[in-house]
């Protein structure tokens, strides 16, 4: 028994965490290429640890992909390529508030930024390792690096995601490890830290339907409720399997999407469970507090719906996505909606990846289209869009300024490790870049996480 426990702890100590976007894509369509490893064993439905193979042959070609020569179709409406970006200038376009470097995440677990509180403190996670069985958390002043270590959170080896970092409370999400319910599953547990009393509490909901495959994490709504997607229908693999793409991988463009029944729960009351009576795909919330959702996800998105939570009034529109596009990522902030899509692989392994931005009224804003574009996230109240790219010539983190129509390149590489994620207030945002030495996957063994702030 003791030897088994030691072996489990040894395995878990080398598993850095994954971010919200990555777990959704990997458990869904599996199209993302960030390397992901879990923080521990959380039950039979846990995602297996391991590396994600680079899909595009253009990784070995240092030149930017030629979409036209590969036969990639043009998008409707305004569009921009990664090669149109200019380097971001620190002190002019953004200011760096703090950073943290993990040099070798192949060898051991590390420390991570899990978001920033509304009053400007970094939620700092010290991951479990050989001489530390469980994760610990601190609130860190980004200006001084001073850390206020929080009381131990009893989560064992479960993976955690921050869903709300307020001035009064911190709300973290983990899969159910079975200690408080009837067995390990992907059903959610919520851990709330009251910053005044400095106490943790954990809530689960026995009347909430099971999440089954669990390929979408719950989302905190503007009303303080946690919105949970309960699987309803799942897109099926066609008879005979997916066709093989030019890159040697199965090409699942134009897949049927998945749908979910929408429920909401109180983060602190185990009896407060509500069926919202909606069948949805991906969800988000606009700046005025409206629920924004698609007809399906992990496939054709269908229509986009905007629903007033207070009155129940709803409008919908056709976002005019490409005919072969799968919706892999979805975000809403302010008056804009960002839809991250995979739309097929063409000659020489060139991918048609898109982040399409529309208004909540359905008007097109811009589409960023290129080979290896991913992770579209609206920041700074929806006035900017952050994204990552994985091509050898164009890889890195970018920020698009909607007002000026500028695409800014923050870095010339994006770490294979997902180590900086979570809510950020105001104009702040997180990104990472490679650090450490080379590893066997032609990448770097570590990651440097940055916390920046947009300069308007």
* 353: pLDDT strictly greater than 70: yes
Q: Across residues 45-59, what is the average pLDDT? A: 33
Residue range 162-210, pLDDT digits in tens: 999 999 999 999 887 766 556 666 788 999 999 999 999 999 998 999 7
Integer Cα distance of 235 and 17 in angstroms: 28
Integer Cα distance of 202 and 180 in angstroms: 9
* 378: pLDDT strictly greater than 60: yes
Integer Cα distance of 400 and 287 in angstroms: 19
Q: Which two tokens stand for residue 423?
A: 């809510």
| pTM (predicted TM-score) | 0.86
* 318: pLDDT strictly greater than 70: yes
Domain ranges of the chain: 2-454
CATH number given to 2-454: 2.130.10.10
Q: Which of 170, 207, 215 is nearest to 190 (CA)?
A: 170
pLDDT, averaged across the chain: 84
Residue range 235-246, pLDDT digits in tens: 888 888 888 888
Band the pLDDT of 79: cuts 50, 70, 90: very high
Run of H or E including 23:
helix 20-27
Integer Cα distance of 237 and 312 in angstroms: 35
Sign of CA dihedral 183, 189, 195, 196: negative
Give the other-Cβ count within 10 Å of 141's Cβ.
14
């Amino acid at each position: 028994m003791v030897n088994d426990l030691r072996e489990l702890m040894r395995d878990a100590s080398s598993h850095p965490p994954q971010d919200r976007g990555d777990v959704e894509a990997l458990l869904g369509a599996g199209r993302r290429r960030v390397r992901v490893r879990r923080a521990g064993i959380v039950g039979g439905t846990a995602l297996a640890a391991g590396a994600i193979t680079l899909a595009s042959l253009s990784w070995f070609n240092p030149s930017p992909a030629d979409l036209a020569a590969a036969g990639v179709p043009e998008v409707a409406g305004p569009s921009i390529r990664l090669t149109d970006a200019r380097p971001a200038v620190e002190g002019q376009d953004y200011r760096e508030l703090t950073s943290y470097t993990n040099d070798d995440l192949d060898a051991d677990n590390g420390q991570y930024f899990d978001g920033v509180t509304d009053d400007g403190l970094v939620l700092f996670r010290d991951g479990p390792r050989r001489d530390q069985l469980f994760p610990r958390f601190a609130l860190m002043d980004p200006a001084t690096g001073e850390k206020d270590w929080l009381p131990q959170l009893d989560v064992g080896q479960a993976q955690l995601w921050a869903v709300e970092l307020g001035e009064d409370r911190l709300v973290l999400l983990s899969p159910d490890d079975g200690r408080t319910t009837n067995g390990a599953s992907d059903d959610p547990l919520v851990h709330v830290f009251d910053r005044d009393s400095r106490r943790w509490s954990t809530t689960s909901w026995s009347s909430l339907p099971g999440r089954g495959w669990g390929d979408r994490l719950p989302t905190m709504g503007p009303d303080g409720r946690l919105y949970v997607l309960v699987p309803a229908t799942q897109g099926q693999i066609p008879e005979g399997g997916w066709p093989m793409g030019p890159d040697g991988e199965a090409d699942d463009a134009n897949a049927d999407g998945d749908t979910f029944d929408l429920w909401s729960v109180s983060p602190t009351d185990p009896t407060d469970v509500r069926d919202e009576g909606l069948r949805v795909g991906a969800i988000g919330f606009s700046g005025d507090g409206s629920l924004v959702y698609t007809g399906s996800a992990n496939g054709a998105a269908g229509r986009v719906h905007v629903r007033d939570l207070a009155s129940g009034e709803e409008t919908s529109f056709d976002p005019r996505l490409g005919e072969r596009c799968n919706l892999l990522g979805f975000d809403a902030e302010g008056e804009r909606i960002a839809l991250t899509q995979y739309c097929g692989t063409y000659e020489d392994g060139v991918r048609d990846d898109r982040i399409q931005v529309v208004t909540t009224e359905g008007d097109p804003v811009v589409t960023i289209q290129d080979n290896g574009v991913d992770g579209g996230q609206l920041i700074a109240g929806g006035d900017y869009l952050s994204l990552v790219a994985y091509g050898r010539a164009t890889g890195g983190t970018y920020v698009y300024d909607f007002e000026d129509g500028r695409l800014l390149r923050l870095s010339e590489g994006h770490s294979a490790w997902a180590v900086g994620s979570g809510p950020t207030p105001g104009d702040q945002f997180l990104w990472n870049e490679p650090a450490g030495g080379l590893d066997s996957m032609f990448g770097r063994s570590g990651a440097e996480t940055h916390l920046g702030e947009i300069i308007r």
